[in-house]
Amino acid sequence: DVVMTQSPLSLPVTLGQAASISCRSSEGLVYSDGNTYLNWFQQRPGQSPRRLIYKVSNRDSGVPDRFSGSGSGTDFTLKISRVEAEDVAIYYCMQGTHWPRTFGQGTKLEIK
């Protein structure tokens, strides 16, 4: 199975500052169709998850543009340009290329 490793696991951030989460996969995530199926999810306390980013860098509808995704191969990053209070959540990467699908351990973002 593809192992997804996130860092850091805990991320204290000052309001208005930038935040960055790394996700590394144990195998490359390029599918046979040429696409890289790496997703990012946000899970706020007490809520179901919400997808933010698909195919590495594409924002879902309604996701603020302060969220951005980048990366290739086995190294991927989620960046929040200016953290707001509503961004307090756990963030997960998930690969959609290989079966079984696998999630990272999650990164808990909190406000300093």
HSE-CB of 23 using CA atoms within 13 angstroms: 31
Question: What helix, strand, coil percent values describe the chain, rounded to 5?
Answer: 5, 50, 45
Asked whether position 32 contacts another protein by CB under 8 A, the answer is: no
Q: What binding mask, one character per residue, do residues 74-93 give for another protein by CB under 8 A, x or -?
A: ----------------x-x-
Nearer to another protein, 19 or 29 (CB): 29
Q: Is residue 41 near another protein by the rule CB under 8 A?
A: yes
82 or 94: whose CB is closer to another protein? 94
In the chain, the DSSP E strands lie at: 4-7, 10-13, 19-25, 38-43, 50-54, 58-59, 67-72, 75-80, 89-95, 102-103, 107-111
| Residues at the site binding another protein, with contacts judged by CB under 8 A | 1, 35, 37, 39, 41, 43, 48-51, 54-55, 58, 60-61, 90, 92, 94, 96, 99-106
